[in-house]
Amino acid sequence: MYKMYNQKKIGVIGAGSFGTALAMVLTGKGHQVTLWARKKEHIEDMRSSGENRHYLPGVRLPDKITLTDDLREAADGKDYLLFAVPSQSFRQVLSRTAEYIKPSVPVINVAKGIEKNTLLRLSQTAEDVIPGIRYAVLSGPSHAEEVARQLPTTVAAAGKDHILAMEVQELFITERFRVYTNEDLAGVELGGALKNIIALGAGISDGLGFGDNAKAAMMTRGITEITRLGLTMGAEMKTFSGLTGIGDLIVTCTSMHSRNRRCGILIGEGVDPDEAVKRIGMVVEGISTAEAAYTLAQRYGIEMPITESIYKVIHGEMDARSAVSYLMGREMKNEMHII
């Protein structure tokens, strides 16, 4: 139904779990995909084993994917570039790749975060690095472990213009990977980034031994905080009730595929936050995003008690159980007085 006859050359920058999974989706549609990893030994291991053993163990890589640790090979002469690197590395990697990116080539980003030092959304970072860049985001409830195994997944594409979002939609959509478009770039980026903070909180709740009631409250009040900050930063309210808002929040707060939730569980069990991140063994985006969101909330004078509590737990200013007591003991309010 969604076969692509106009096949493209696509460079995927970042061979983590999601970059690898999306490279498989694109290869399955007949595109010519080159997958880049920073470390040569990572590429060599993928070549010899036929899989990405660190990030997606047990999933065979298609033979047609070209593997490289050379940025020029990955980026030069491509029709599209897909960036799948951690949010705090995005500026550096994009800057290194910029000389190979022609003005007409779109950059699609799947990282979910806010740049900690500048407090910029990643689309703003991209514009800062390459003024006038053709930029789009692919986001939504999409754990790489399921995408790579072709389990049904639905996401949204948002671009600086609707035509670009539609290009991305056509590029990726399959019978198992459904793509909608969304014109609210700010909302899509903020929903994807901020839900990781709430997922840390959901994990902490689980680690403390609390039940489903507590997690449901964490998620519900969490989307309130996300919406409150999002509206202040120019997003549209309806986006937060969609795939990249409540959809992404649900999957990240409830799944054991979620690094943020797993990290939160360890913290709730009493593990030091730095040690918890080490045990996860991969980037936990909610850690840096909590710092950025806490600073943004202070800048705009926005009430974000869950974010504030998680920030203080991460920085050792409050233990996890005290954070819960703080949240439960706040002054009485009307639930609907939220925005």
Please list the active-site residues: 195
114: enclosing H helix or E strand: none
Q: At 306, is the secondary structure helix, strand, or coil?
A: helix
Crossing angle of helices 259-268/273-280, nearest 10°?
Answer: 140
Strand pairing category for 135-139 and 153-159? antiparallel
- For 54, list phi and psi in degrees, rounded to 5: -75, -40
Which string of b and e fits 229-253 if b means at least 16 CB within 10 Å? bbbbbebbeebbebbbbbbbbbbbb
Distances (CA, A) of 135 to 41, 70, 282, 311, 322: 30, 23, 26, 30, 42
Instruction: Record the tokens describing residue 179, joined without a space.
Output: 């793509």
CB atoms within 10 A of CB 281: 10
Q: C-alpha 262: how far from its chain's center?
A: 16
Closest CA relative to residue 229, chosen from 191, 183, 200, 261: 191
Place of tokens 């009493």: 270
Looking at residue 51, what DSSP letter applies? B
Longest dimension (CA), the chain: 60
Partners of 155 in the β-ladder: 179
DSSP per-residue string spanning 220-231:
HHHHHHHHHHHH
Dihedral sign, Cα of residue 209, residue 257, residue 292, residue 242: negative
